[in-house]
Structure 1
C-alpha cells in the first residue's frame, strides 16, 4: 500500500493536469456551464418529492425534500464518479499507447474530479438548511471521513470495471443500468428507518427479516447515506451497526479489485 501511494504521489502533477482537463472538457461546451452539475440532484429531489406526495413516505422530523437531497449528494457523487472512472481508461487510449505511468491514475482522477460538483451541491444543501432553519451540528466533522469512504467504495467498483471495460466495452454501457437499479436498493427515495421498521420491527420477511436487513446493509451506500443524513441533518453520530457490513465488504473487495486492475494493466496498450 505504501508503495502504491508513493508511486501515485510521483505522478501527482499528471493527475492534476488530467483532473483539470476533465473539468474543462466537461463544461466548456455546456450552455449552463458548471451549473449543469446541480441539475441532476435538484431535479431528482423535486421528482421524488412529487412521488412522495402520492405514495406517502415517512421522513420523521426532517422535511422530506432536504432529507432526499442529502441522500442524493453521496449517491450522485458515487454514481457519476464510478461511471466516469469505468470509462476513463478507454477514453485515454491515445495517452496509454505513448508512455508508461500507473494506469490507476485514470480512475482515481475521474473520482477526484467529481469533488468539484460535490462542493457545488454542498452550497445548495447549505441553502436548504438555511431555508428549513436547520443549523449544522458539531457532528458534521464526520463528513470528510464519510466521503473518503465513498471514494474508496467508488474505486472498488471503478478499478475492476475499468479493467473489464477495456476488454468488454459493453461494461461501460451496462454500468449505468446497474447503478440505477442499485439506487432502489439504497435509502435514497426512502429513509433507512423505513427499512428498519419493515424488517426489524414488523418482520416483513418473516424468519428471514434479520438476514435480509444485514444483506441490505452490505451495500456500502446504505451506511454512507444514512450516516451523512444523521450528521448533517439530525445531529446524531453515524450508526456503526449499519456502517460495518459495508466497510467490511469494501476492505475485502478493494484489494481484489486493485489486483485485477493491475493484472489487466499490462495488456491495456495492446487492447485499447
Structure 2
C-alpha cells in the first residue's frame, strides 16, 4: 500500500511539473486576429453614393405611405406650420408683443417654423428608421446610415413645399426677399449637418433603449418653445447666446435665415461659427457612435 501511495504521489508531481512547463493560454485571440474597424471618409462617401438609389426608393416609399389615402395629400406638409404660425401670431405677437421691426410677424414666425418642422420631422422619423426596417436590415446589405438619411430626404421634400408657401407669404405681405438671401446656402449646410447627426444618434439609441421613443414627443413639444421659432434669438440673454447656440445650432440658423431673407443682414459671424463647429461635432460624433453600435443592431432588436 505504501508503494502504491508513493507511486501516485510521483505521478501527480510529474503531471503538475508538465503542466507548469506548458505555455500559458491567452485570454483572447492574438492581436493580429482582433477585428479592427477603420472608417475612411472616402470609403464612407463611396458607399453612400453607391446606395443613392436605395435612399431614393426608401424616401419614395415613406412619402407614399405618409400621404396614402389622404384627401389633402401633400397639403399636410404646410398645414401644420401654418396652423402653428396662426397660433404664434395670436399668442406671441398679440399677447406677448414680440417686436419684429418692419417685418410682418407671420413671415417672421414662418421662417423659423420651416426650419423646425424639417428638424422635428427628421428627428421623429429618423429615430424610428432602424426599428421600422429591421426585416429589411437583415435581408439587404447596405450602409445602415441610409435609413436616417432617407427620412431627412422626405423632410427635405416637405421643406421645399414649405418654401413655396413662404413665397406666397412674401406676395401677401408685399415683401421681397432681401439681397443677402445667398447666405441661406451655408446656413442650410449647418442645418443639414446638425439634423443628420441628431437623427443618427437617436436612430441607434431607440434600438438599444426603447424608452427613447417615448421621449420624442416631449422633446418635440418642448423644443419648439426652447428654440427661437416664435421669438428672436435676442430674447435670450446675450451672455448666454454663445453657449445656447453651441447646444442648439438651430438658434443661429433660424436667426441667420431671418437676417438674410427678411432684414438684409449677414448672419452673426461668431454665433454662426459656433453653430457650424457644433453641428460638425454632432455629425461626426453621431456617425462614429452609429458605426460603433450598428454591428449589434440585429442581435439587440
TM-score, normalised to structure 2, is 0.82
Of the structure 1 ranges 102-111 and 251-260, higher mean CA displacement relative to structure 2 is found in: 251-260
**Contact conserved, 2:194 with 2:280, CA < 8 A, in 1?**
no
* Aligned pairs (5 A) from 1:103-114: 103-114=144-155
How much has 1:144 moved relative to structure 2?
A: 3.2
1:66-118 Cα distance to aligned partner (Å, 9 max, x none): 10001111111111111111110011111011122110000011101111111
Structure 1 residue 224 corresponds to structure 2 residue 253: yes
3-state SS of the aligned residue for 2:130?
Answer: helix
Which residue does the alignment assign to 1:54? 95
Which residue does the alignment assign to 2:210? 169
TM-score, normalised to structure 1, is 0.91
Q: 2:175 aligns with which of 127, 131, 134?
A: 134
Which residue does the alignment assign to 1:249? 278
Tell me the number of residue pairs that the alignment of Structure 1 and Structure 2 aligns. Answer: 259
Give the number of the structure whose alpha-carbon radius of gyration is greater.
Answer: 2
* Aligned pairs (5 A) from 1:185-264: 185-195=226-236, 199-200=237-238, 210=239, 212-218=240-246, 219-264=248-293
Which residue does the alignment assign to 2:189? 148
**Contact conserved, 1:146 with 1:227, CA < 8 A, in 2?**
yes
Gaps of 5+ in 2: 1-40
Which residue does the alignment assign to 2:299? 270
CA distance in 1, matches of 2:219, 2:57: 31
Which residue does the alignment assign to 1:206? none
Which residue does the alignment assign to 1:28? 68
How much has 1:151 moved relative to structure 2?
A: 1.4
Q: 2:198 aligns with which of 144, 151, 157?
A: 157
CA distance in 2, matches of 1:215, 1:180: 22
Structure 1 residue 39 corresponds to structure 2 residue 68: no
How much has 1:214 moved relative to structure 2?
A: 2.1
**Contact conserved, 1:156 with 1:253, CA < 8 A, in 2?**
yes
Q: Judging changes above 3 Å, is the alpha-carbon distance between structure 1 residues 144 and 214 closer, same or farther for their aligned structure 2 residues?
A: closer
Larger relative CO (CA 8 A, sep 6+): 1 or 2? Answer: 1
How much has 1:29 moved relative to structure 2?
A: 2.5
**Contact conserved, 2:129 with 2:147, CA < 8 A, in 1?**
yes
Q: Structure 1: which 4+ aligned runs deviate by more than 4 Å? A: none
CA distance in 1, matches of 2:61, 2:183: 30
Which residue does the alignment assign to 1:203? none
Q: 1:13 aligns with which of 39, 53, 69?
A: 53
**Contact conserved, 2:194 with 2:282, CA < 8 A, in 1?**
no
CA distance in 2, matches of 1:255, 1:217: 18
3-state SS of the aligned residue for 2:203?
Answer: helix
1:196-251 Cα distance to aligned partner (Å, 9 max, x none): xxx24xxxxxxxxx2x2322222101111001111111122111222122222222
1:106-146 Cα distance to aligned partner (Å, 9 max, x none): 00111011111111111111011111111123322232332
Gaps of 5+ in 1: 201-209
